[in-house]
Amino acid sequence: MTDSKVDRKTFLTTAAIASAGVATGFPTILRSSASAKDVIKIGLDYEYTGVYAAYAQSETRGALMAMDAWNARGGVMGGTRVTTVSEDNDNNPGIAVEKARKLVNVDKCAALMGSINSSVSLAVSGAANAMNILYIDSGGHADAVTGADCKYSTFRTCHSTWMETHATGFSLGKKFGKKWYLITPDYAFGHALDAGYRDVAKKIGATIVGDDLTPLGTTDFSPYLTKVLGAKPDLLLVLVQGDDFVNCLKQAHEFGLVGKIPIGGPQVELEAVWALPEAARVGFWGVEWYYKGANVLGTNNKLATNFVNEYRKKYHTPPTARSAFGYITMDRLLWGINQAKSTNAAKIAHALAGTKFQTIFEGTTYYRAADHQLMWPMWLGGIRAKGTPQDKYDVFDIVDRQEPDAIEQSVAEKAKVCKMVWP
């Protein structure tokens, strides 16, 4: 990343990238011609390369749409425009912390948002707190972000792993049976999902007959899938995500597992399903947001309708749940700055915590004051392999909706682990 001195060649290159959004898959750097005092910078700390690159691109697209909407209305705090500076953290918590410090200390970003990898989210949360900078975790799900490692300066938009496992585990156990096999990513996100499903299993009397921890970036799932076939579970729970999810499902089809053993899991991403061959598009999964259906968007939600239509027009594909994470995160971050009339982390945090709002899904939501977790529904969907004749991207059949209070730990339960220290 360059410093604030931008020569003509760099300017023209940056302008070309910015005009194309993030279609290249690389981070977008938006520079303002105004002086520093006339612009507020938001730092984007994301995994723009590696197994989660597609998700980072989608979240960035959503974030830039929200930023553009605020700028079109005149900016924040009575006319201050907003811009972004992006950094690639390479799926590495240590690098992510270095990039967070650069975004704040060198690029003078007033707040931070990101990322996908939960270990990265936890690391950036700690770094932002040490710098007294507000950070919204847009897409890292591990419970600890709003649990044992909660911070006054950190909020989370995507669901916690507890919400994901409890929104899906009861339904999947009832539908398919109580003999489960898990394929789990071996880092904070996967460990938290594992713990959530074990809690559900204990409550419904399910038995976990296998649980394989897989390194992030696994390309060969055959050793694990062979064990699944031998164990003959009622249900295979696939917890890996990103490119790992694509590889696992492709190989499950090649091994003949698809059709023999039901498959499901805590979440599925549109980016991953679209990357699969139709024969490997199977299963019932947690869905965090979807671009269609009154059960998700409501019947008269103009904000949601406009977001979907404008996104499709700009990027030629529908928005995904990741796009929604980015949009909601940036929109609320800028609302908090505007409401607080300040970029002070504590003032923004007080403005955001507990404030109810409506956004691009049906219903009223809020970042819970007790832990700063966004309280919003989850949905259960079955994959429709071919899409529909009208829309090849429409691959989810939403069959159920679970409200947040029924799937997240209570305030009393969270209070046992989340101990916020305010300045």
Q: Domain 162-287+378-407: give its CATH architecture.
A: 3-Layer(aba) Sandwich (3.40)
Please, what is the average pLDDT of the chain? 91
**Per-residue pLDDT tens for 216-253?**
999 999 999 999 999 999 999 999 998 999 999 999 99
Q: What is the pLDDT of residue 38?
A: 86
**Per-residue pLDDT tens for 268-307?**
999 999 999 999 999 999 999 999 999 999 999 999 999 9
Q: What is the pLDDT of residue 292?
A: 96
Is residue 31 scored above 60 in pLDDT?
Answer: no
* pLDDT level of residue 30 (50, 70, 90 thresholds): very low
Helix boundaries (H) for 38-176: 53-72, 93-105, 118-130, 161-176
Sorted by where each begins, the domain ranges of the chain are 8-159+303-373, 162-287+378-407
* pLDDT level of residue 12 (50, 70, 90 thresholds): very low
Q: What is the pLDDT of residue 408?
A: 97
Q: What is the pLDDT of residue 37?
A: 60
Alpha-carbon distance of 127 to 223, in angstroms, equals 38
Alpha-carbon distance of 402 to 419, in angstroms, equals 27
Q: Are 128 and 333 in contact (CB under 8 A)?
A: no
For the entire predicted model, the pTM comes to 0.89
Q: What is the pLDDT of residue 226?
A: 95
Q: Are 3 and 36 in contact (CB under 8 A)?
A: no
Q: What is the pLDDT of residue 131?
A: 98
Quote the percentage of the chain above a pLDDT of 70: 91
What's the mean pLDDT in 31-52? 79
**Per-residue pLDDT tens for 110-122?**
999 999 999 999 9
All residues at 6 or more sequence positions from 87 whose CB lies less than 8 Å from its CB, including other chains: 1, 27, 43, 44, 45, 46, 99, 100, 102, 103
**Per-residue pLDDT tens for 48-101?**
999 999 999 999 999 999 999 999 999 999 999 999 999 999 999 999 999 999
Element (H, E) at 210: strand 207-214
CATH of domain 8-159+303-373: 3.40.50.2300
Give the residue among 82, 77, 124, 78 at the shortest CA–CA distance from 104: 124
What's the mean pLDDT in 35-58? 90
**Per-residue pLDDT tens for 303-348?**
999 999 999 999 999 999 999 999 999 999 999 999 999 999 999 9
Domains 8-159+303-373 and 162-287+378-407 share a fold: yes
Torsion angle in degrees (nearest 10) through CA of 276, 282, 284, 290: 40
Is residue 148 scored above 80 in pLDDT?
Answer: yes
